[in-house]
Amino acid sequence: MTEAKSNFLIQCLRGASQVFFMRNALTGALFFLAIAYASHVSGSWASLIGAAVGVVVATLTARLLDCDETSVSSGLFGFNGILVGAALPDFIAASPQLWVYVVIGAAASTVITAAFSATLTSNWKIPGSTGPFVLTGWLMVASAYSFGGLNVIGDTPKLASDYVQGLVSIPSPIELAEIVFRSIGQVYLLDSAISGAILLLGIFIASIPAGIAAVAGSLAAAITSIAMGAPPALVGQGLYGFSPVLTAMAVGVIFLKPSPKAAAYALLATVTTVFVQGALDVILAPSGIPSFTAPYVLTMYMFIAPKKLIAPHPHKTVPGHLVDARRSKMLAPRLRDG
Amino acid sequence: MTEAKSNFLIQCLRGASQVFFMRNALTGALFFLAIAYASHVSGSWASLIGAAVGVVVATLTARLLDCDETSVSSGLFGFNGILVGAALPDFIAASPQLWVYVVIGAAASTVITAAFSATLTSNWKIPGSTGPFVLTGWLMVASAYSFGGLNVIGDTPKLASDYVQGLVSIPSPIELAEIVFRSIGQVYLLDSAISGAILLLGIFIASIPAGIAAVAGSLAAAITSIAMGAPPALVGQGLYGFSPVLTAMAVGVIFLKPSPKAAAYALLATVTTVFVQGALDVILAPSGIPSFTAPYVLTMYMFIAPKKLIAPHPHKTVPGHLVDARRSKMLAPRLRDG
Amino acid sequence: MTEAKSNFLIQCLRGASQVFFMRNALTGALFFLAIAYASHVSGSWASLIGAAVGVVVATLTARLLDCDETSVSSGLFGFNGILVGAALPDFIAASPQLWVYVVIGAAASTVITAAFSATLTSNWKIPGSTGPFVLTGWLMVASAYSFGGLNVIGDTPKLASDYVQGLVSIPSPIELAEIVFRSIGQVYLLDSAISGAILLLGIFIASIPAGIAAVAGSLAAAITSIAMGAPPALVGQGLYGFSPVLTAMAVGVIFLKPSPKAAAYALLATVTTVFVQGALDVILAPSGIPSFTAPYVLTMYMFIAPKKLIAPHPHKTVPGHLVDARRSKMLAPRLRDG
């Protein structure tokens, strides 16, 4: 009994660490410390409680559904749940309905994780990653506008034309370092450079190359977003950097074998993520939902999907189509190649 | 000739019954009666005519395209067409162009049904269900805003911030029963408790467990939406219940073998559908299109997709990637597990 | 060296020709002439330079990534890049950041082309076609609203209710001919009937059936959009015709074997594309992004996906679901068929 309980605790802590692709309970414990620090600073503990509830419910749901044991034990069914639990109290005011919401959202995130595995991963070897969190989070924040028991906090929906574009300002080295740490913190929706530093420590404990990729990705994102003239307030909060951090880690060291070529490829992916961040902020604005880690998820899917030896379909007839006129005596058009 | 004609009529009636997953011409005939009753009450017969045209055109198109005969005969190529035909006159004012629109929409729904089968079903055993109707309906209602010959009726597009959140009020048992029946009626876009009761009778004639699931799903949705504070006017019309009804039937008795575990799983899916309903209403509001059965479709896809033995991709290198540096002498990062 | 260079030039010109499904360097050269003519008329050369940069960067990226050689050589990795390069300067004012943007967008379009091939094509034999351009273009135009260094030109985001619906007016034969040519020109975002005529000449040089399909598709789109009452100004510019042109070519002669049945199927697809054009214009309006060739891409995917012998999933239990209660003694519901 005690063994099973401690096992379960370790699975939950590993789930916390898997947000940054790690499988390490100590790292997960440090991640909880980082959330606690940010809660202490802000004075609001709902995110910390939400994170704990989220990872517990998600992991428990996976056990009840007899999901793949190794995956459950590695925390692979917990990291989307912890993000759902940490994110919802950030966007919805505390109420009894919020906590019902967190529990159901975390349980649903486990089902959606299994659904992504059975589709994206099963056929295409694309990792679902935090895609299930993004989908669950979008649906639940949008849904909250419809319910009297749930009050959405923060920005109201708007059109892209309402955007205030930023003046470019070059930050000092200290400001830049703060942006780098804040960007890492925002992966857990934490608006604190110190929390970001604790998270980074946790990553380094589990994997030095992963820690280096996190810093490099955060820096590349900061430079790109400043050079393109992103809104300074958002850049300063690390809101242009948290998705690129994940892209740099995922493409640079986790899902591809590190090499100079993979590093160049990861850099292109990281810079692209900054643009996708800008795009999704605009596209989602009218719906009043945040982009969460969708810029990372979308970019990573696109950059991890390509496999060797698979060519685009040539501009020739597709095989076995429903409308396949076998009896037709007309010939296919001959293209004159040149 | 007479045989073929009557066969075709039976195929169309079965198509009507497949909206609720049944394959029963008598049930289909009762469903047409339910639509006729609602038309009689509202005084507008366009939806009834649209439904008849929709199922005939969709089934005929499937025959002309030599689609799988057993499926055509079971009505599986007709139920998206009947929904397209029943829905479009609800959102677009009658005009000659509307009827061109219904015919082309119903024909396209057959092609899209075949497309969903060749992708979702072929690879992942996810049933397309009313997904083709949702996609066709969205495109055609949105498109109507662009054309002078088609006038969109009803609500104008708006932002989520314009939402009026509801005051929670607990309905009397009779009001609750009305909501349960109306929710079933809204699957066919019918705003009538009596039409809902006729539909339910049709379901029970074909399958008692399916009828029980429909009532249970409708009740669970009503309770959830009231507890969360959904807009009372919408709840009262059954607009928070029709998608959950389909989810409860699909997940609880049609696509999974009934068991206590499947029932609990279906309950989670049903409650989730209520939240997805709230979400899609908000997300689609700026585009001025209704959510149709999308909350059911999206939730059902997610809950039916997970298969045994399929694990999430671990956070390790994906096989056979385009950027696979075989010649690289660098080692993959070693994660320190713990 | 000279050989390799000329080879590369031919690959790029073939890439230009692949926008209209051809593999012909002479056709590609004529296409560049068409862009140059439109630039000469408008006085702005950014689109021509963008097109050249786009196809060069995209093709080069494919070479650096060791993508399938035959495909690279056929220009199949260049046509999305040329469209990205031609389109971005049409929607974003010239600035140093714009050119960085074009280079990164074109490089990303190659990765996304490989991703579409590894998913859509690999499993379902659906050609990615200009889908990667649409996705890249959407993300980059939307993203430009977020960056001070990038100024979006043209219409501001709006709601569908702001749409001014058109008065139907029947064009003279000469006006109709102009619309037909302009629609072909708009595939390359060229607002010039003469450029359209040059493009059409290029198509006929490579394939007579493809040229006939282009004209037929353009004519069918013009008639459909006028009959439905589309906004006359947009119809006159060819903005309701360029996606249907591609659909008619793709479904009518490129991806299906030409036959009377395929022609009827292509006509349904072409008319459907006109409606999808109207729909996407409305749906995308609040986000402030143009629909590009998405109406063609979406319709073509749906019409090319269906394969012989693949039936919709019947309304029965799906195999191997996670929640598969083998030990359950309850029976599956028996549907009473009729």
Q: What is the pLDDT, as a whole number, of residue C4? A: 59
The ipTM assigned to this model is 0.92
Residue A42's CB: how many other CB atoms inside 10 A?
14
Q: What is the pLDDT, as a whole number, of residue B15? A: 98
Chains touching C, CB cut-off 8 Å, 3+ pairs: A, B
C298 in Cβ contact with B63 (< 8 Å): no
Q: Which residues contact A127 (CB under 8 A, 6 or more apart)?
A: A120, A121, A250, A255, A300, A304, B312, B313, B315, B318
| CA–CA gap between residue C112 and residue A303 (Å, rounded) | 7
Q: Tokens 């989602």 sit at which residue?
A: A284
Residues in chain C within 8 Å Cβ distance of A169 = none
Vertex C121 angle, CA C120 and C124, to 5°: 70
| CA–CA gap between residue C151 and residue C135 (Å, rounded) | 20
Confidence of residue A170 (pLDDT cuts 50, 70, 90): confident
| CA–CA gap between residue C240 and residue C195 (Å, rounded) | 17
User: Residue A47 pLDDT > 70, yes or no?
Assistant: yes
Q: What is the pLDDT, as a whole number, of residue A179? A: 97
Of the given ranges (A219-223, A324-328, C227-231), which has the lowest mean pLDDT? Answer: A324-328
Q: Which residue in chain A has the smallest CA separation from C141?
A: A279
- Does the distance separating the beta carbons of C148 and A166 come in below 8 Å? yes
Confidence of residue A5 (pLDDT cuts 50, 70, 90): low
Confidence of residue B170 (pLDDT cuts 50, 70, 90): confident
User: C 131-170 residues with CB below 8 A of B?
Assistant: 159-161, 163, 165-168
Structure tokens at B272: 């989730």
Structure tokens at B147: 């054309």
Q: Strand pairing partners for C321?
A: B307
Residues in chain A: 338
Q: Please write the tens of the pLDDT for every residue from A67-111.
A: 999 999 999 999 999 999 999 999 999 999 999 999 999 999 999
pTM score, whole prediction = 0.93
Facing C147 at nearest CB: one of A278, A303, A328: A278
A47 in Cβ contact with A98 (< 8 Å): no
| CA–CA gap between residue A1 and residue C285 (Å, rounded) | 58
| CA–CA gap between residue B269 and residue B101 (Å, rounded) | 34
User: Residue B165 pLDDT > 60, yes or no?
Assistant: no
| CA–CA gap between residue C291 and residue C274 (Å, rounded) | 12
| pLDDT, averaged across chain B | 91
Confidence of residue A317 (pLDDT cuts 50, 70, 90): very high
Burial B23-32 (b: 16+ CB within 10 A, else e): bbbbbbbbbb
Q: Which residue in chain A has the smallest CA separation from C68?
A: A311
User: Residue B22 pLDDT > 80, yes or no?
Assistant: yes
B81 in Cβ contact with B110 (< 8 Å): yes
User: A 166-225 residues with CB below 8 A of B?
Assistant: 205-210
Confidence of residue C331 (pLDDT cuts 50, 70, 90): very low
User: A 12-31 residues with CB below 8 A of B?
Assistant: 18, 21-27
Identity of the amino acid at A124 = W
Q: Is A317 touching C (CB cutoff 8 A)? A: yes
- Does the distance separating the beta carbons of C286 and B104 come in below 8 Å? no
- Does the distance separating the beta carbons of A312 and C113 come in below 8 Å? yes
CA distances from B292 to B101, B118, B131, B240, B276 (A): 18, 23, 10, 11, 12
User: Residue C62 pLDDT > 50, yes or no?
Assistant: yes
User: B 46-75 residues with CB below 8 A of A?
Assistant: 65-67
Residues in chain C within 8 Å Cβ distance of A160 = 142, 145, 156-157, 286-288
| pLDDT, averaged across chain C | 91
Q: Please write the tens of the pLDDT for every residue from C76-89.
A: 999 999 999 999 99
Structure tokens at A276: 């996708």
